[in-house]
Amino acid sequence: MTSKPKVAFFDFAGCEGDQLEVINLEERLLDLVEVVEVVSFREAMSEHSDDYEIAFVEGSITTPHDVERLEEVRSNADTVIAIGSCAAFGGINSIRNEQDFETVKERTYGEDAAMFDDPDAELFDSFEHAQPAKAFVEVEYEVPGCPIDGEEFIQTVTAILQGGDPSLANHPVCVDCKLAENTCAFDRGEICLGPITRGGGCDATCVSQGTRCWGCRGLVDNPAEDAYSEVLQEYGVTTDELLNEFTLYWSWQREHGPQADMQEVEQ
Amino acid sequence: MSQDIDIEGDLVTRVEGHGEIVVNATDGQLEACEWHVVESPRFFESMVVDRDWDEIHHIVSRICGICSVTHTMTGLKAVEDAMGVELSEQDLKLRKLALAGETLQSHVLHLGYLALPDLVGEKSVVPMANTHEEEVRTVIRLHKLGNELIETVAGRSTHAQRTIPGGFSRLPREAELRDLRASLEGSWNDVETVVDLVLSLADELPDFTRETEFISLTDPDEYALYEGVPYSSDTGELDLADYREIVNEHVVEQSTAKFTKHDRDSYMVGALARFNNNYEQLGPMATAVADRFGLKPVCHNPYLNNVAQLVETAHLIERSIELIDSILESGLEAQSDYHKPDVDVTAGQGVGAIEAPRGILFHEYTLDETGTALEGNCVIPTNQNHANIQLDMERLVPTIIEQPEGEIEHTLEMLVRAYDPCISCSTHYLDVEFVDTPPER
Ligand code: SF4
Ligand code: SF4
């Protein structure tokens, strides 16, 4: 890697909240551009170059056009890093993966949903399921979260620049909750995904702000499912309630597992 | 002097989301002039179906990262409307404060990071850090102030957690509000710096006008952002319950696009629309900023939307200070750190509207008796500005057709950036094509 590596940002289907979190680093962004050269960041700059070593991708992959772009990014970059839950494992976009696609289109477009069948309207060529980047190309690292945590982003970049390995923490959000001395959401009568959601990057922010963990950082590797079942039994949570929670961020991940490998390109 | 022009749909940069401009001319004859939105469809209106009343705001906040507070609160307003939930005075003020923070953050981002580089002839704010270091640091400070406002009140600047149906899960402390007030008071010099900078570059803003209709919220008591009823500069006050007739989403014959129109073929929403409709209610500092630019209602130059944002930036700071004062004066009424408002879950249909940074935003939900969503509808500012951008282009391009291609493209990109369409929130997918229909001259 050269002394000042070139980095580029690419966004797919998403809200651009993760790129915004990068912009929200505020003056630290000026420090960042001291150590890396940003060659592409459509949300913030007009320049664009295909010469980069590190590519950050945001948003989930929902169209054949997305796949083409993603493959190009992959072939240009030495390292691809998925930022945000949409890019890392489908995220909130994958709620629709559990719904019938014809119904999905009709609910959103009414009778105009027929446009999706028009072979000339190629921009409407949408996959049935929203999928993460790793469903199509190899992704070296992930910074999950909806949105990502700016601090974790900086740590990841720093580790990579120093030749380290920015692997994710592998403990549940519950650990962060204990550190934050939160009252357990279950004790407050809520259903919380903290026991099986990957912690270590968000400081259990949602519970700390008075709500519950919705699972935005994805399933922790090897979740202690038995322990979780006990918790659920203890608090009398029904399967329906739980499934509802699981489909908020995990509709793709539930099927493919927390560390899913690249799959055959499906359309 | 007639030239061939081929501006072929490169992604417009420094806007949120994906948009493309297509202009073709052969031998000076305009053949196509189109504004395309190429964002992937995301289907939010389907994604909320079957979800619970207390999850809807969480989901729809992900429509847009930059105006997530607005989407969250518009979703909450619609759900609260459906179930007849009333907010306390204090919660209302706190929501207004969080919204002011988001609009401030978004305006500064738009002006400083997206539009300013055009005016100083740079491609991004990064090289400006060398040529205009003080100004860039000022922009960063103001942007941060907006984010601090959101964080202090709503708990996180993007996809905040504390705003929930019926109020807040958790409140800021009085000391935090006092600190915030001090930062707001301390920001006037920074506002001045940005005003001076934009003023010195104001000649770079193209002098282009096209008469149009402006739609925003309006409220008898204040410059409407959180509360109020829809208002048209053509036809006056409108009924929120009839919002579908206000936006009138329709398909244009020669295109697959959904356009919106109200009294004319297009209308504009956003800072300039609000400025034009509610000018009298701006605070004194904001009015002074407008005066320095000679900006008066009714202004029909879309490029001055950026100046209207600057005017609103001053207004938002004034207004936030007022809100904090009023909360502190009556004493912040405490609540638990894991507060859950009492909400009677009922079936119902509700509509909510809020002024997002880029214009009026409507959400509507139908809920069954368990509070599960049966239907959802979101009409976002970009959809509403879409036809207006297209018609502006059609009027503008013939007047600049003799300019070099790069100039034309730059002027059009600046036009798009002036609106800053929040394309990623295109819950409805839009694709405009005017095939074989030469634009009006
Ligand atoms: S992960 Fe969340 S913040 Fe990031 S793009 Fe997706 S919805 Fe937005
Ligand atoms: S507490 Fe849960 S939902 Fe909230 S940010 Fe952390 S992982 Fe995401």
- Whether B189 is covered by a domain: the verdict is yes
Q: Is residue B95 scored above 70 in pLDDT?
A: yes
User: Across residues B109-137, what is the average pLDDT?
Assistant: 82
Looking at the complex, report in whole angstroms how far the Cα of residue B338 sits from the nearest Cα belonging to chain A: 4
Please name the residues in contact with B374: beta carbons below 8 A apart, sequence gap of 6 or more: B49, B366, B367, B368
Atom 8 in ligand 1: residue holding the nearest Cα = A15
Q: How far apart, in Å, are the Cα atoms of B389 and each of B295, B299, B307? A: 21, 16, 18
Same domain for B117 and B132, yes or no, is: yes
Same domain for A227 and A132, yes or no, is: no
- Whether A228 is covered by a domain: the verdict is yes
Asked, as a colleague might, if the bond just before B298 is cis with ω within 30 of 0, I would say yes
DSSP string, B112-135: IIIIHHHHHT-SBHHHHHHHSHHH
The per-residue pLDDT for A124 is: 64
User: Across residues B14-31, what is the average pLDDT?
Assistant: 69
Question: Contact, A79 vs A151, CB < 8 A?
Answer: no
Of B78-87, B104-113, B224-233, B315-324, the range with the lowest mean pLDDT is B104-113
Same domain for A16 and A134, yes or no, is: yes
**Cα(A74)–Cα(A57) distance, rounded to whole angstroms?**
10
Same domain for B104 and B250, yes or no, is: yes
Same domain for A146 and A90, yes or no, is: yes
For residue A19, list chain B residues with Cβ-Cβ distance below 8 A: 65
Q: Tell me how crowded residue B238 is: count the other CB atoms within 10 A of its CB.
A: 18
Q: Which of A26, A108, A126 sits opposite B140 (nearest CB)?
A: A26
- Whether A129 is covered by a domain: the verdict is yes
Ligand 1 lined by A216 (C-beta under 6 Å): no
Given ligand 1 and candidates A18, A56, A153, which is best to mutate, with the most ligand atoms within 8 Å of its CB? A18
Looking at the complex, report in whole angstroms how far the Cα of residue A227 sits from the nearest Cα belonging to chain B: 25
Residue A81 belongs to what domain range?
Answer: 6-97+124-162
pLDDT in tens, B203-222: 889 999 999 999 999 999 99
Q: Determine, for residues A16 and B49 on separate chains, whether the beta-carbon distance falls below 8 Å.
A: no
Task: Give binding residues of B for Mg(2+) as ranges.
Answer: 45, 428
- Whether B435 is covered by a domain: the verdict is no
Ramachandran sector of residue A59 (left: φ over 0; alpha: ψ -120 to 50; beta: rest): left
The per-residue pLDDT for B286 is: 98
**Cα(B305)–Cα(B103) distance, rounded to whole angstroms?**
14
- Whether A113 is covered by a domain: the verdict is no
Quickly state the pLDDT bin for B131 (edges 50, 70, 90): confident
Residue B389 belongs to what domain range?
Answer: 44-425
The per-residue pLDDT for B9 is: 52
- Whether A107 is covered by a domain: the verdict is no
For residue B123, list chain A residues with Cβ-Cβ distance below 8 A: 45-47
- Whether A111 is covered by a domain: the verdict is no
Same domain for B9 and B105, yes or no, is: no
User: Across residues A210-224, what is the average pLDDT?
Assistant: 91
Same domain for A129 and A201, yes or no, is: no
**Residues 135-194 of chain B whose Cβ lies under 8 A from any Cβ of chain A:** 136-137, 140, 143-144, 147, 155-162, 164, 168-170
- Whether B345 is covered by a domain: the verdict is yes
Q: Determine, for residues A16 and B14 on separate chains, whether the beta-carbon distance falls below 8 Å.
A: no
CA of B424 to the centre of ligand 1 (A): 11
- Whether A220 is covered by a domain: the verdict is yes
User: Across residues B384-410, what is the average pLDDT?
Assistant: 88
**Cα(B14)–Cα(B34) distance, rounded to whole angstroms?**
19
Asked, as a colleague might, if the bond just before A147 is cis with ω within 30 of 0, I would say yes
Quickly state the pLDDT bin for A251 (edges 50, 70, 90): very high
Q: Is residue A218 scored above 80 in pLDDT?
A: yes
- Whether B439 is covered by a domain: the verdict is no
Same domain for B190 and B264, yes or no, is: yes
Beta bridge partners of A45: B124
Q: How far apart, in Å, are the Cα atoms of B290 and each of B270, B285, B334? A: 16, 9, 39
Same domain for A17 and A140, yes or no, is: yes
The per-residue pLDDT for A18 is: 95
Q: Is residue B196 scored above 90 in pLDDT?
A: yes
CA of B279 to the centre of ligand 2 (A): 41
The per-residue pLDDT for B429 is: 37
CATH code, domain carrying A16: 3.40.50.700
B36: phi then psi, degrees, rounded to nearest 5? -110, 145
Q: Which of B62, B158, B431 sits opposite A21 (nearest CB)?
A: B158
Please name the residues in contact with B393: beta carbons below 8 A apart, sequence gap of 6 or more: B21, B23, B33, B34, B35, B412, B415, B439
Same domain for B29 and B170, yes or no, is: no
The per-residue pLDDT for B421 is: 65
Same domain for B26 and B72, yes or no, is: no
Same domain for A19 and A146, yes or no, is: yes
Q: Is residue A267 scored above 50 in pLDDT?
A: no
Please state, rounded to an integer, the average pLDDT across all residues of chain A: 88
Quickly state the pLDDT bin for A123 (edges 50, 70, 90): low
The per-residue pLDDT for B436 is: 32
Beta bridge partners of B29: B26
Quickly state the pLDDT bin for B6 (edges 50, 70, 90): low
Q: Is residue A112 scored above 80 in pLDDT?
A: no
- Whether B433 is covered by a domain: the verdict is no
Of the residues A133, A162, A191, which one is the last residue of a structural domain?
Answer: A162
Looking at the complex, report in whole angstroms how far the Cα of residue A172 sits from the nearest Cα belonging to chain B: 20
Q: Is residue B331 scored above 60 in pLDDT?
A: yes
Same domain for B152 and B23, yes or no, is: no
Cα–Cα nearest to B359, from B243, B301, B273, B260:
B273
Ligand 2 lined by A133 (C-beta under 6 Å): no
Task: Give binding residues of B as ranges.
Answer: 45, 64, 67, 422, 425, 428
- Whether B418 is covered by a domain: the verdict is yes
The per-residue pLDDT for B438 is: 36
- Whether A186 is covered by a domain: the verdict is yes
Please state, rounded to an integer, the average pLDDT across all residues of chain B: 88
Same domain for A93 and A53, yes or no, is: yes
Give yes or no for B55 touching A (CB within 8 A): yes
pLDDT higher at B411 or B167: B167
Total domains in the fold of chain B = 2
Same domain for B13 and B156, yes or no, is: no
pLDDT higher at A114 or A101: A101
Total domains in the fold of chain A = 2
* CA-angle at B118, arms to B116 and B119, nearest 5°: 65
pLDDT in tens, B261-284: 899 999 999 999 999 999 999 999
Same domain for B338 and B207, yes or no, is: yes
Report how many Cβ contacts below 8 Å link chain A to chain B.
180
Question: Contact, B204 vs B297, CB < 8 A?
Answer: no
**Cα(B153)–Cα(B168) distance, rounded to whole angstroms?**
9
pLDDT in tens, B398-417: 898 888 888 888 888 888 88
Of B28-32, B342-346, B373-377, the range with the lowest mean pLDDT is B28-32
Of A58-62, A111-115, B5-9, the range with the lowest mean pLDDT is B5-9
**Cα(B399)–Cα(B34) distance, rounded to whole angstroms?**
16
Given ligand 2 and candidates A92, A143, A153, A173, which is best to mutate, with the most ligand atoms within 8 Å of its CB? A173
Q: Which residues of B272-310 are buried (b: 16+ CB within 10 A; e: fewer)?
A: bbbbbbbbebbbebbbebbebbebeeebebbbbbbbbbb
Give yes or no for B258 touching A (CB within 8 A): yes
CA of A209 to the centre of ligand 2 (A): 10
Quickly state the pLDDT bin for A121 (edges 50, 70, 90): low
pLDDT higher at B55 or A113: B55
Same domain for A90 and A19, yes or no, is: yes
Task: Say which amino acid occupies B286.
Answer: A
* Closest approach atom of ligand 1 to CA A17: 3
pLDDT higher at A113 or B440: A113
Give yes or no for B72 touching A (CB within 8 A): no
DSSP string, B298-340: SP--GGGHHHHHHHHHHHHHHHHHHHHHHHHHH-PPP--TT--
Same domain for A146 and A242, yes or no, is: no
pLDDT higher at A231 or A205: A205
Task: Give binding residues of B for Fe cation as ranges.
Answer: 67, 425
Return the residue in A6, A9, A12, A15 with the most chain B beta carbons within 10 A, the one to mutate for interface testing.
A15
**Cα(B40)–Cα(B430) distance, rounded to whole angstroms?**
10
The per-residue pLDDT for B260 is: 83
pLDDT in tens, B58-68: 999 999 998 99
Share of chain A above pLDDT 90, in %: 58
Same domain for A155 and A201, yes or no, is: no
The per-residue pLDDT for A243 is: 74
Please name the residues in contact with B121: beta carbons below 8 A apart, sequence gap of 6 or more: none
CATH code, domain carrying B296: 1.10.645.10
Ligand 1 lined by A147 (C-beta under 6 Å): yes
Q: Which of B62, B155, B429 sits opposite A209 (nearest CB)?
A: B155
Please name the residues in contact with A5: beta carbons below 8 A apart, sequence gap of 6 or more: A36, A37, A53, A54, A161
pLDDT in tens, A58-87: 999 998 989 999 999 999 999 999 999 999
Of A113-127, B88-102, B174-188, the range with the lowest mean pLDDT is A113-127
Q: Which residues of A48-76 are buried (b: 16+ CB within 10 A; e: fewer)?
A: eeeebbbbbbbbbbbbebbbebbeebbee
Pairing of strands A79-83, A141-143: parallel
Ligand 1 lined by A218 (C-beta under 6 Å): no
Share of chain B above pLDDT 90, in %: 65
Same domain for B96 and B188, yes or no, is: yes
The per-residue pLDDT for B8 is: 59
CA of A104 to the centre of ligand 1 (A): 20
Return the residue in B44, B53, B62 with the most chain A beta carbons within 10 A, the one to mutate for interface testing.
B62
Looking at the complex, report in whole angstroms how far the Cα of residue B188 sits from the nearest Cα belonging to chain A: 19
CA of B346 to the centre of ligand 2 (A): 29
User: Across residues A177-197, what is the average pLDDT?
Assistant: 93
Same domain for A34 and A148, yes or no, is: yes
Task: Give the three-class secondary structure for B355.
Answer: strand
Same domain for A87 and A198, yes or no, is: no
Q: Which of B123, B168, B431 sits opposite A46 (nearest CB)?
A: B123
Ligand nearest to the CA of A203: 2
- Whether B144 is covered by a domain: the verdict is yes
The per-residue pLDDT for A264 is: 47
Same domain for B193 and B306, yes or no, is: yes
Cα–Cα nearest to B162, from B178, B144, B183, B176:
B176
- Whether A109 is covered by a domain: the verdict is no
**Cα(B113)–Cα(B120) distance, rounded to whole angstroms?**
12
Same domain for B29 and B169, yes or no, is: no
Give yes or no for B109 touching A (CB within 8 A): yes
pTM of the model: 0.92
Q: Determine, for residues B338 and A62 on separate chains, whether the beta-carbon distance falls below 8 Å.
A: no
- Whether B317 is covered by a domain: the verdict is yes
Ramachandran sector of residue A147 (left: φ over 0; alpha: ψ -120 to 50; beta: rest): beta
For residue A63, list chain B residues with Cβ-Cβ distance below 8 A: 40
Q: Is residue A262 scored above 70 in pLDDT?
A: no
Residue with tokens 């996959």: A127
Q: Is residue B252 scored above 70 in pLDDT?
A: no
